[in-house]
Amino acid sequence: AADVSSDITEVLVTEEEIRAKLDEIAARVAEDYADEDLLLVGVLKGAIMVMADFSRALKKHVTMDWMAVSSYGAGTKSSGVVQIRKDLDTDILGKHVLIVEDIIDSGLTLSWLLENFAARGAASVEVFALLRKPEAAKVEVHCRYVGFDIPTEFVVGYGLDYAEKYRNLRDVAVLAPHVYS
């Protein structure tokens, strides 16, 4: 359809709500890391929007790196197999790392990443996830900063895709089942 609104059933989190939440969490992070150098690691591709907006809301100098991992492919369910598509450019040994993610769904991607980063000898590794689906968790992930807990529905927008589409929507919205069924 030419009109994307027919592909979504409901807006869950608006652009304005996202902006307010990012400001709030950015203030906490700036305070928590006041005495540390901080490396933000964005998880491509879903985290592009949250990384762009969150890093600019932070009143602190940071460095940034990116890791591309994928477990969903073209489906709506995690395959459980996390693949590195692009590794970090930075050596994180001894660094304070904050992983920036768009969403924790099953938790498989982040639990895998946390183990991977711990093995590289980071001084600390914490997580900021804009969205979390508490009822979909297959593994527990310690997430220090959470934007919004949302119901177990397939959501798109603000970086989140279905088969690479809808990432450029400004809000987070529920994808209409007719799109993927």
Residues annotated catalytic, as ranges: 105
Q: How many Cβ atoms sit within 10 Å of the Cβ of residue 52?
A: 14
Residue from 18, 51, 104, 114 in contact with ligand PRP (CB under 6 A): 104
Instruction: Please select the residue that binds Mg ion; options are 7, 53, 102, 161, rule is CB under 5 A.
Output: 161
- 100 near ligand PRP (CB under 6 A): no
Stretch that binds Mn ion, among 39-47, 77-85, 119-127, 171-179 (CB under 5 A): 39-47
Q: Which stretch binds Mg ion (CB under 5 A): 36-44, 77-85, 94-102, 157-165?
A: 157-165
Exactly one of 107, 122, 158, 173 binds ligand PRP (CB under 6 A); that residue is 107
Annotate the chain with DSSP letters as a single string. ---GGGGEEEEEE-HHHHHHHHHHHHHHHHHHTTTS--EEEEEETTTHHHHHHHHHH--S--EEEEEEEES-TTSSS--S--EEEE--SS--TT-EEEEEEEEESSSHHHHHHHHHHHHTT-SEEEEEEEEE-GGG-SS----SEEEEE--SS-EEBTTB-BTTBSTT-SSEEEEPHHHH-
User: How near is the Cβ of 81 to ligand PRP at its closest, in Å?
Assistant: 10
Look up residue 31 and give its amino acid.
E
Q: What x-and-dash track marks residues 137-156 binding ligand PRP by CB under 6 A? A: --------------------
**Cβ closer to ligand PRP: 9 or 70?**
70
Nearer to Mg ion, 33 or 154 (CB): 154
Binding range to Mn ion, per CB under 5 A, among 43-51, 76-84, 143-151, 164-172: 43-51
- Residue 65: burial class (beta carbons within 10 Å; 0-12, 13-18, 19+): middle
User: Which residues form the interface with Mg ion (CB under 5 A)?
Assistant: 72, 161
User: Which residues form the interface with Mn ion (CB under 5 A)?
Assistant: 46
